[in-house]
Structure formats: structure tokens, C-alpha cells
Chains A and B, each alone.
Chain A
Amino acid sequence: MNRFERQYILPGFGQASQQKLLDAKVLVVGAGGLGCPALLYLSAAGIGTIGIVDGDHVSVSNLNRQVLFGHEDLGKNKASTATKIISAKYPDLKINVISEFLRTDNILSILQEYDLIVDGSDNFPTRYLVNDACVLLGKPLVFGAIYQNEGQVAIFNTKGKTSANYRDIYPVAPAPEEVPNCNETGVLGVLPGTIGTMMANETIKLLTGYGETLSDKMLFYNLLNHASYQVELSKNPDSEKHRPQSAEALLQMDYSDFCGFSSQINWQEATTLLKTKDQSILIDVRAADELPQLVSLEFTRIALDQIEVRKNELSTYQNVLLFCQTGIRSLKAAKILQRQFRDKNILSIEGGILKYYGDLE
């Protein structure tokens, strides 16, 4: 009796398809709401080599949908935790852990090792970065994304230059005001569960040639009424000029900036966010001797030049609020941290501490 018998006895699947899964190397980007179910089904199906890339840490608000993780995993890196779980279930599979975020300077060497990329990330900068790298390397990309009660699934790049990629349908990322912050949108865990499982399904079908895939198509699915809508994608002549045409050009692109995460809030909004103490932290990025000191709110001091080194102290918080004297250094700190923590709400407080006390003077 073989672990995969129930799938290879399927008419049209067979041992040859099972061997293709075993020989395949699949990289899953993001071990989050989409990545967790995708990883569970890809590993159960017997994909021989699976890479898991995620620089994020498990926080309590992830647990309604990131079903690999539980309370004992809070604060731990998602990629390494997922790797431990999957490796323990199926010790014969090769699971590679990459416990950092994809960046312009590491993505090409990481993706190069795999036959197929599954994008389960949760933000536009990563989605455009992964798309552009897949086009440059000629790697098929299984794409999935969600918004409230709806999901999208597609496969890009299966037929080289004639295939559609993400920029053919969306040439450039939306402007900041169009993008809801991930902490502002609710989600039932079953939606990424459904979409992530569909992504695993597309991956298995594409690798084995079983059934029909969503290659050059995008499927829209609505959780509320099960409505689904399939659109045939086409090449968009306008998209090429937005895409880096070489590894060097990709390295030069600033993905974190071009869809401009909105980075600033005022003190009133900050005070409201800080009421959820286990999820929010206030940081003074000034040097210790700078005046005035903040006395009426609880805060942690991490000077701007320390922010990169001490970033792990922030890993369990969903909202990181930064202030300085006037709001300039805190904005720089926010930009640095946004590159490190893609799914956190990282905000600089406008006007800094002078604004806070300004009303009193």
C-alpha cells in the first residue's frame, strides 16, 4: 500500500503523474492564509521538493486562517515553523526553508532552484516582484489573492513570451488610497483556505497535465454565493514598459515604494490603535537625551540607527507606531521597517512629539 495510491488509481492520473509530482520542485511564497492550505495539500500530494519562503512571524490575528500555526507558534518565523510541521508529517519530502522576505537582491537566486512558483503573498510589492522575476526566469507562476469575500486564481508564464503575466492584466500597482491596509479588511479563514487549495490544485494539474488549468486565465470566486467567473487573459502592449527587462533592472526597481504604502497617521489615530496593547507598540526613534520626553503614553525607545538591528522586538505586534521630534526620522524608520515586515501596519506619527505637545503650549 502506497501513500499516493488513492490518487494514482484515478483514471488519467496514474503512476507517471505521481512521479512528476515527486520530481517537481515548487516554491511557495508566503506561509500565510493562502500558503498554509497550499502547503498542506502540495506536501500531501507528494511534491518531492518544496521551498517555503516567508520572513514574517506568527501573530495572534493570523490564527483564524493560517491553519498550520497555533498559540505555541506566536512570534516564531512562519517559514521555519511551517517547514518543521511539514517535514514531521512527511519526512521523505525535501523541504527547504527560506526564512526571509523576497527582495530584489535575493529573489532571482532563490527562484532559480524551482520549476514552479506559487504566490501566496499578501501585498502588491511582493506580487509585482514575484511576477517580474518569474517573467525574467521563464518560471510558471500560480497566482492567488483575496479581497474580503472574493478570491482570484490564475496561472501566468506557462508558454514563455506568448503567455500572460500579472502586468498584462494590471500593468502597475494601485495608488496608496486604493489599497486597503490588510488590517482594515476582514476575512473569514475559509476564503484563503478555498483559494489556497485551488492554487494547490492548479499546481498539481499543471505539473501533471491532468485536467484543464487556469493557464492564461483568471478565475474570480465569491465565498458568499459561490459565484465564479473565468476570464481569458491576453497580452497587453502597455505592460512591457513597466516590467524590468533584465536582472540588473530588477535589482534597481523599488518595489516597496511604487505602490506607496500609506505611512503616516496623527496622534489621535495612534492613541486609538494603542488601546489594543497586545497588538500595538509605540516607539520613540530619537536618541535617549532628546527632549521633550513623552510621559503620558507607554512607549519603547529604539533609536533610528538601531531600528534594523532591533527589529525582532517588534515581531509579535501588528501595529508599529513610530514617533520622533517632528515626524521625519520616524518616517524613515517606517520605510525601513516596511521592507522588513510586509504585512504589518507600520506608521509614522505626523508632526512627532512637538505636535503632541503643541496643543498644550
Chain B
Amino acid sequence: MKILAFGKIVELLGKTELELDNMPNTDILLGFLQQQYPELKNMKFSLAVNKKQVTGNTEIPQGAEVALLPPFSGG
């Protein structure tokens, strides 16, 4: 599966994309990401699975694309 980062999350991950395996749902994915990138714990962001925003723990289908979407405030 492909993880896409946006905004400030790109700075935390040091890249715009990650390839990961064996992440059956968003809770497991978030737990893994927070362990790898502890600063993510202090950030609020939304998740999209295959370009659909999801809330709560959501199943991640095989080969899915998951986007990490932080809020922007500038104008």
C-alpha cells in the first residue's frame, strides 16, 4: 500500500510517499506511523483511503492508497 503525505506531515516523514505492507486497518497504520514518527502523535490530521475521507478505524483494502491530510490555515 502507498502512504501519501501532505503539508507539515511531509516534513515529519521526510518524504511525500511511503510503501508499507500488512496494515489491515487505519488504527494499526496510525499506531505504526506514530511509533516510527513520534511527532505525529501531537498532530491533528484526517485520513483518506482510496481518496475517500474516513473517520474511526477503517479497513484498508489490499494495495490501497492512504493519504495523511493535515489542516492548513494560511491565506
Contacts and interface: CB of A to CB of B under 8 A. Distances in A.
Interface of A: 30, 32-35, 120-124, 127, 144-148, 150-152, 168-170, 172-175, 177-180, 182, 185, 187, 192, 218, 220, 229-234, 236-238
B33 interface: no
B48 A231 contact: yes
Nearest to B75: A122
12 contacts: A33-B74, A120-B75, A124-B71, A127-B73, A145-B73, A147-B70, A169-B53, A178-B8, A179-B73, A229-B4, A231-B48, A231-B67
A146 B6 CA distance: 11
B30 interface: no
A78 to B, nearest CB: 12
B69 A220 contact: yes
A359 B48 CA distance: 52
A232 B8 CA distance: 21
Given A177-B42, A232-B53, A35 B75 contact: yes
B18 interface: no
B38 interface: no
Interface residues of B, number: 23
B51 A122 contact: no
B43 A174 contact: yes
Nearest to B44: A174
Contacts of B69: 169, 218, 220, 231
A170 B54 CA distance: 12
A32 B75 contact: yes
A147 B74 contact: yes
Given A169-B69, A218-B53, A231-B51, 4 more contacts: A122-B73, A152-B72, A175-B42, A179-B73
A178 B53 contact: no
Given A229-B6, A231-B69, A145 B44 contact: no
A146 B71 contact: no
B46 interface: yes
Contacts of B22: none
Given A150-B7, A169-B46, A177-B42, A145 B71 contact: yes
B74 A187 contact: yes
Interface in B23-37: none
Nearest to A65: B75
A178 B44 CA distance: 8
A236 B55 contact: yes
Interface string B1-19: 0001011100000000000
Contacts of B53: 168-169, 218, 231-234
Nearest to A148: B7
A231 B72 contact: no
A230 B51 contact: yes
